[in-house]
Amino acid sequence: MSPEEFRELGKQVVDWIADYRAGIESYPVRSPVEPGWVRDRLPAHPPERGTGFEQVLGDLDEVLLPGITHWQHPAFFAYFPSGASGPAVLGDLLSSGLGVQGMLWATSPACTELEALAVDWLAELLGLPPHFRTDAAGGGIIQDSASGAALVACLAALHRASGGRVAAEGITGRYAMYVSEHTHASLARAARISGIGEDNVRVIGTDPRTRGLDPQELDRAIAADAAAGVVPALVCASIGTTSTTAVDPVRQVGEVCRERGVWLHVDAAYAGVAAVCPELRWISDGVAECADSYCTDPHKWLLTNFDCSVLWVADRGPLVQALSSTPEYLRNPASESGAVIDYRDWQVPLGRRFRALKLWSVLRWYGAEGLREHIRSGVELAREFAGEVAADDRFELLEEPVFGLVCFRPRYPDLDPAAADRRVLDRLEALNSAGNAYLTHTEVDGRVQVRMAIGAAGTERRHVHATWDAIRAAFFG
């Protein structure tokens, strides 16, 4: 493709995206296709001769679009939002256009230096402590996902807990990780992948009122392990759990970790970015004093398209020591000078995209004010929606929302709990199949809850109102 062909086709692609975004409300939010529908409509074998880019756009219109679930639709309320704002998409396009691979500072200095500055900016915007800055003892990095960040934190924690021996010897004894029943499943996976093993993941009880991890029980569990010769490696505290956005008491949990010398990882994948608003900054209480690692995902609620998960560490030493290895073919004077960051040593893969450009575009385009406005709008709409739910006695609100997620369930008093839950799921499926909105569910205290996660970039009050009408009709129509 020549630069001139690229220019022409690129304009068509940008027009396509702009038209798609302008007309997004005309699509069913959740894709209605059956398994295999998309593949069955595409050629089974690759072309012998190139078919031109028009064919790709044709495939997009005719086959791929029906198989798309429209995450940027303003009535997308499923899971958590995954914002792909205009500036983020353009930043990502520039990154693809540059096509650099930033595994080392030397392989594209701007890729590393912009990333370091972008995550420092974000740390400042979120009120995170100065030792998380890349010009201090710690530092931040953009990882692919909060799951990847948890794994990396786990490897650093194991490195520290083993006095550096794990890297050479592997896991020779037993190590334990501590979570609550509400911790994201990626932590158990990190235990599995890192060699800690799921049998050594201790699920600590929670306060039934706040659903926050119980620090006393944590302390007892760590002490029992230590007495039995098991090495406590990592505790995960969550700020905004996946099911209900519960917030663990990070400070108290962190004090136990400090006392016992255990690595504290704070998973704030969804909710951490809310700290851009001073009135929500209380969620980070204890992070400055106690967190060894902290992760939040701009690719959820901060208008930045996937993948962009930021992991900060208080001390980069254990992380870099756990992951670095230097084969001859990567040696270069800048790395050897010790004056640069080589982000390959902070992550599992070697290669890395220029992901900072999309975060940078978002931070520059919106500024702190624009980001606060976006978060506040989500919180406000969630509170209003929760008010509607609470005012309708056919529904039960789980609790007042703190962020953009509202959990609720319809009451079916004539049915036993299992039958009532089945009905909730059936009606939710019917609501989603109708295509006007998309919500998902979870289970809390053994009962199904419907989750309404507000925070897509284009969501306005009218979308929430229309969805509330659709919910009432679906559950009680």
Query: Which chain residues interact with ligand PLP by CB under 6 A?
Result: 80, 145-147, 184, 186, 238, 240-242, 267, 269-270, 297, 309
Please report the DSSP string for 11-27 in residue order: HHHHHHHHHHHHTGGGS
Residues 6+ apart with CB under 8 A from 345: 319, 320, 323, 324
Q: Work out the angle at residue 95's Cα, subtended by the Cα atoms of residues 90 and 96, and round it to the nearest 5 degrees.
A: 95
**Closer by beta carbon to ligand PLP, 120 or else 267:** 267
Q: How far is the CB of 63 from ligand PLP (least distance, A)?
A: 27
Q: How far is the CB of 178 from ligand PLP (least distance, A)?
A: 16
Rg over CA atoms, the chain: 24
CB distance 194 to 151 below 8 Å? yes
Q: How far is the CB of 276 from ligand PLP (least distance, A)?
A: 18
**Closer by beta carbon to ligand PLP, 28 or else 140:** 140
**Closer by beta carbon to ligand PLP, 270 or else 366:** 270
Residue 200: both structure tokens together: 């050594």
**Closer by beta carbon to ligand PLP, 144 or else 345:** 144
**Closer by beta carbon to ligand PLP, 214 or else 297:** 297
157-160: which pairs have CB atoms within 8 A and are 24 or more residues apart? Answer: 157/233, 157/234, 157/262, 157/263, 157/265, 157/292, 157/293, 157/318, 158/194, 158/195, 158/196, 158/233, 158/234, 158/322, 159/318, 159/319, 159/321, 159/322, 160/263, 160/318
Question: Which residue number places its CB atom closest to ligand PLP?
Answer: 145
Q: How far is the CB of 294 from ligand PLP (least distance, A)?
A: 12
Q: How far is the CB of 280 from ligand PLP (least distance, A)?
A: 16
Q: How far is the CB of 222 from ligand PLP (least distance, A)?
A: 22
Q: How far is the CB of 267 from ligand PLP (least distance, A)?
A: 5
CB atoms within 10 A of CB 330: 15
**Closer by beta carbon to ligand PLP, 128 or else 187:** 187
**Closer by beta carbon to ligand PLP, 120 or else 297:** 297
| Strand, coil or helix: 247 | strand
**Closer by beta carbon to ligand PLP, 241 or else 459:** 241
Q: How far is the CB of 420 from ligand PLP (least distance, A)?
A: 26
Peptide bond into 307 cis (omega under 30): yes
CB distance 256 to 235 below 8 Å? yes
Question: What are the φ and ψ backbone dihedral angles of 309, each rounded to 5 degrees?
Answer: -115, 125
Q: Work out the angle at residue 285's Cα, subtended by the Cα atoms of residues 282 and 289, and round it to the nearest 5 degrees.
A: 155
